[in-house]
Amino acid sequence: MRLESAVAAVSVLNYGAITRSWEVHAQGKPLSVVLGYKDLHQYLADPFYLGAIVGRVANRTANGRFRLNGKTCQLTQNEGRHHLHGGIKGLGRRLWQMERDGARRLRLRYLSPDGEEGYPGTVRFTVDMALSGSRLTYDMRAVPDRPTPINLAQHNYYNLAGGQGDIFDHSIRIQAAQYTPTDGEGIPTGQVCDVEGTPLDLRKTVALHRVDPERKGIDSNLLFDPGRDRKKPVAELRAPNGLRLRMWSDQPGLQLYTGAGLKRPAFRAFTGMCLEPQYPPDCLNNPGFCAIIATPETPYRQVLTVDINGDDAG
């Protein structure tokens, strides 16, 4: 389905609740500022989660294992010995029901059965998407029938140059003073460290080629200031063509991934980057991190708003 406003158009698939394209105008021509495949069949074998809603639990869970109410739960292990983005067939690889509500709103629904990918409980997921001018909102909800972990992430790969070239000429700012260090397999050590004095200090706008001059790639979870002004964006991205992305989130942090692994014929490394608001990775095995157990009485909700427009558009 396609959502349209006077200044933007967004195409959405019922497979994986995927945002396939997001067109805006820059320098007099339409550009799709998220990466997507031209051939729909390519999504079936996509290893990058392009544009998908990922979960039940986004990011990595060490050894695919956690304890809940005194019992050990074993999830599918789809990244070596670890669990990533909901497993082999997580939410980003399922068929959702999709219905339109006018020209600028749609709703996606998915019923995840008990035991899917190893997760306990049946969960009703809904994602409401609304386009208002240049601003797109994802309202993600999940209602389980018993306690179960939920931590969703929206997985767009952004390139404000319309997918032309890499993202190193973009400038970035993220309102985060701390991060969670990881080991060589991307699993958090359990520490929470200050970004000051590290390449992850992105509190002031900086060009990505200065953040990562050796092009090693970044795949790190940053933690927002809990006392931040919720009216201000948690992240901003700018490109030389004048396009600007601003992002608002109610989540405690954000995974920054600069796309080093995009090495397939359809894409090259660093041709898109992810800004994924979520709870920290491996929350289930780190008591010092945030709790992500949803219940029938305390269901899950995440609201993500992204605005992409020209510098002169407000």
Measured distance CA(3)–CA(264) in Å, rounded = 29
Q: Is the pLDDT of residue 312 over 50?
A: no
| In the chain, % of residues over pLDDT 90 | 90
| Annotated domain spans of the chain | 2-169+242-313
Residue 156: C-alpha distances to residues 53, 230, 291, 295 (Å): 9, 22, 25, 28
Q: Which strands, in side-by-side order, build the sheet including 97-100?
A: 97-100, 105-112, 123-132, 135-144, 300-310, 243-249, 235-238, 171-174, 206-207
Please report which confidence band the pLDDT of residue 311 belongs to, taking 50, 70 and 90 as the band edges: low
CB under 8 Å to 247, separation ≥6 — which residues?
Answer: 233, 234, 235, 236, 275, 277, 304, 305, 306, 307
276 is catalytic: yes
pLDDT at residue 8 in the model: 95
- Mean pLDDT for 228-252 is 96
Residue 27 confidence (pLDDT) above 80: no
Residue 103 pLDDT? 78
Confidence of residue 314 (pLDDT cuts 50, 70, 90): very low
Q: Span 234-250, mean pLDDT? A: 97
Structure tokens at 120: 């306990």
Rounded mean pLDDT, 84-89: 98
Q: In percent, how much of the chain has pLDDT > 70? A: 99
Phi and psi angles of residue 75, each rounded to the nearest 5 degrees, phi first: -95, 165
- On the question of pLDDT at 216 being above 80, the answer is yes
Note the pLDDT of residue 288.
Answer: 86
Q: Which of 82, 83, 85, 155 is catalytic?
A: 155
Render pLDDT for 154-182 as a digit per residue (tens, 0 to 9): 999 999 998 789 999 999 999 999 999 99
- 4 part of the active site: no
At 206 the pLDDT is 98
The per-residue pLDDT of the chain, averaged, comes to 95
The CATH architecture of the domain made up of 2-169+242-313 is: Distorted Sandwich (2.70)
Decide if 75 contacts 64 (C-beta within 8 A).
yes
Is pLDDT at 29 greater than 50 in this prediction? yes
Burial level of 29, CB count in 10 A (0-12/13-18/19+)? exposed
Q: What is the pLDDT of residues 180-199, one digit of tens each?
A: 999 999 999 999 999 999 99
The pLDDT tens digits of the residues spanning 259-285 come to 999 988 889 999 999 999 999 999 999
> What token pair was written down for 217?
């790639």
